[in-house]
Amino acid sequence: MDRRPLPRILSNGSDRIARGREHLARSRELARSAADGATDVLHPLITITRGLRRLAGAGRRKWTATPKDRRGPLLFLVASVFLVVVLMPYGPLLAAVCLMGAAAWTGRERTEPAPSGPDDAQSQRLQSLYEALVPYFSVPDDPSPLFAHGGEWDKAFTAYEFDDDGRVSRLEVRYPAYFTDGEAAARARIEQVLHAKSGRGREYHFTWDEEGNTLTVTVLPPLPTDIAAQRFVTAPGETVLGFTDPSGVQRTLPVTDGDAQRDVPPVVWRTGSRSTEPHLLVLGQPGSGTTSLLRSVALQALQYGDVVVVEGSGSADYACLAGRDGVLAVECGLAGALASLEWAAHETERRLIAANRARQAGHPPPEDTRRPLWIVIDRPSVLGHLAAADGHQDPQDLLQVPLRHGRAAGVTVVVADQLDCLDALSDAVHRHTRARVVLGPATFDQVQAVLGAAPHTTPAGDMPAGRGYARLGAGAVHRLQVPATPDPYDDATSDAHRRAVLALLPGRAASADASLAPAAVAEG
């Protein structure tokens, strides 16, 4: 029996326990360092082994996915490559080095950054959007509602992006399958709520995926307003109405802005015998840019054809075209307009008869019937009112033949009027103008009444001149910005725009009236 005092026994036991713990910690450190050293030594081997395993798996999947009728040629190709590698000098060594390098690259550890979620302000904004959509995307009988008051927004919003100001720039929304996304009124309510809650003053594009029950909201950048009239790179029969979003069309055109040049997506209207929308109707509010668009179309048409201009407003907005090569007439009065449109109707009939006789005789159409003829009419409702007051024929009645048979005769009709005069246009204009443009402020009901479909975007907060929507036939509705083509004789026109328009004007015709000489002097 140990006779030492109890405190000494306890002290010796504590020392022994402490020394044991020190030895255990030192042993663990040695084991950890040995393991790290072994890992450092074996790390390349582990990486290469992992890469070889991944390459083998990829080859096995490729072989399994290859149809049976193609496995023989594939096997022959692999055997040929193997034979070439074996026979070439240092081939097996180079092949082994390449294989080890590919295995090391394939077997490397891939560390992906952890996705960063929204901050508190962004989460609050998303929660507000979620709560605003609850009354429209939920029903009381839903046992497991996707949208519910106090619910989690991350289940409904599968993707989101924010701009520098903290506002939503892109949002992908999942909605229940029972939502009536096939009804235009139901979609319009959702679009209105998202527009109001995401921030006004911006244009939003809505993409409805009815099969996948998802709605994608995207903020659209503003359309360029600094593109002036110029000679666009187009083929004969193509007319640039304006410019739109890159996602709306699959084509870009080079444009010049001063000394710089850039590519922008255009809205190209195709005319001619193969066009499905051979005539154009432009409607808008006063000052929205309808006359500027018609002036741009006339300048582009003069490059390949002849133009007849009939102006109903009497404001001499097309005086710069008078007396130019290819401009057959610029009429502002009722008598001149009736005479010009009557001639255009007879010319359309003459072209049809001449082309028909040439085809029956086995000859190509005559040369004078193949040059395009453009009839540009601005404000025909005013001329119709004047004709009714004087007891004359409505000038729009003379457009029936060019509108109905113009495509076969190479005659194109372009009509522009104010939006509130839509009912004053004749039935022939309504039925045969399949290419349409709406400019300036307008409600969705007005845009849909003219274009036949509502745009998938919210209205712009600021509508500059030449800003609107365009639709060609049964195609999609595009945002549109018309190139700046002002009257060069207007005092309010800037020097840059004046020079741009004057550069596009053709030369003076030999039979130009002498009264136009002051304008030519001013131009020079």
Band the pLDDT of 10: cuts 50, 70, 90. Answer: very low
**Three-state SS across 389-445?**
HHCCCCHHHHHHHHHHHHHHHCEEEEEEEEHHHHHHCCHHHHHHCCEEEEECCCCHH
Q: Which of 5-14, 271-280, 339-348 has the highest mean pLDDT?
A: 339-348
Residue 5 has pLDDT above 60, yes or no: no
Residues 6 or more apart from 268 whose CB is under 8 A from it? 234, 238, 239, 240, 241, 249, 251
What residue ranges in 244-325 does DSSP mark as E strands?
Answer: 253-257, 260-264, 266-270, 280-284, 306-311
Band the pLDDT of 81: cuts 50, 70, 90. Answer: confident
Band the pLDDT of 368: cuts 50, 70, 90. Answer: confident
Residue 375 has pLDDT above 80, yes or no: yes
Residue 106 has pLDDT above 70, yes or no: yes
Share of the chain above pLDDT 90, in %: 53
Band the pLDDT of 257: cuts 50, 70, 90. Answer: confident
The DSSP code sequence of 478-523 is EEEE--B---TT-TTS-HHHHHHHHHHSPPBPTT--GGGHHHHHHH
Residue 453 has pLDDT above 50, yes or no: yes
Chain Cα centroid distance, residue 427? 32
**How far apart (Å, rounded) are the C-alpha atoms in residues 8 and 14?**
10
**How far apart (Å, rounded) are the C-alpha atoms in residues 399 and 375?**
9
Predicted confidence (pLDDT) per residue in 57-77, tens digit: 787 777 777 777 777 887 888
- Give the pLDDT confidence score for residue 459 in this predicted structure: 81
- Give the pLDDT confidence score for residue 432 in this predicted structure: 94
Q: In Å, how far are 36, 44, 47, 50 from 39, measured between CA atoms? A: 5, 9, 11, 15
Quick one: tokens of 160?
């989101």
The identity of residue 384, as a single letter, is G
Chain Cα centroid distance, residue 454? 16
Predicted confidence (pLDDT) per residue in 261-313, tens digit: 899 999 999 998 889 999 999 999 998 999 999 999 999 999 999 999 999 88
What domains are defined for the chain?
120-220 (3.90.1150), 238-510 (3.40.50.300)
Band the pLDDT of 120: cuts 50, 70, 90. Answer: confident
- Give the pLDDT confidence score for residue 13 in this predicted structure: 53
Helices 91-106 and 6-65 cross at an angle (nearest 10°) of: 120
- Give the pLDDT confidence score for residue 518 in this predicted structure: 35
* Segments in 161-228 forming alpha helices (H): 184-198
Predicted confidence (pLDDT) per residue in 198-229, tens digit: 887 888 999 999 999 999 999 998 898 889 99
Residues 6 or more apart from 279 whose CB is under 8 A from it? 403, 406, 412, 413, 414, 415, 432, 433, 434, 435
- Give the pLDDT confidence score for residue 114 in this predicted structure: 45
- Give the pLDDT confidence score for residue 6 in this predicted structure: 42
Residue with tokens 């590698």: 85
Q: Contact 206/457 with Cβ under 8 angstroms?
A: yes
Residue 95 has pLDDT above 50, yes or no: yes
Residue 523 has pLDDT above 50, yes or no: no
Quick one: tokens of 506?
């053709």
Chain Cα centroid distance, residue 243? 9
- Give the pLDDT confidence score for residue 88 in this predicted structure: 81
- Give the pLDDT confidence score for residue 173 in this predicted structure: 95
Predicted confidence (pLDDT) per residue in 21-32, tens digit: 666 566 666 556
**How far apart (Å, rounded) are the C-alpha atoms in residues 71 and 83?**
18
Q: Contact 283/418 with Cβ under 8 angstroms?
A: yes
Average of pLDDT values for 456-474? 88
- Give the pLDDT confidence score for residue 107 in this predicted structure: 73
- Give the pLDDT confidence score for residue 208 in this predicted structure: 93
Q: Which of 2-11, 339-348, 441-450 has the highest mean pLDDT?
A: 339-348
- Give the pLDDT confidence score for residue 443 in this predicted structure: 86
- Give the pLDDT confidence score for residue 514 in this predicted structure: 37
- Give the pLDDT confidence score for residue 29 in this predicted structure: 63
Share of the chain above pLDDT 70, in %: 87
Chain-wide mean pLDDT for the chain? 85
* Segments in 66-165 forming alpha helices (H): 68-87, 91-106, 120-133
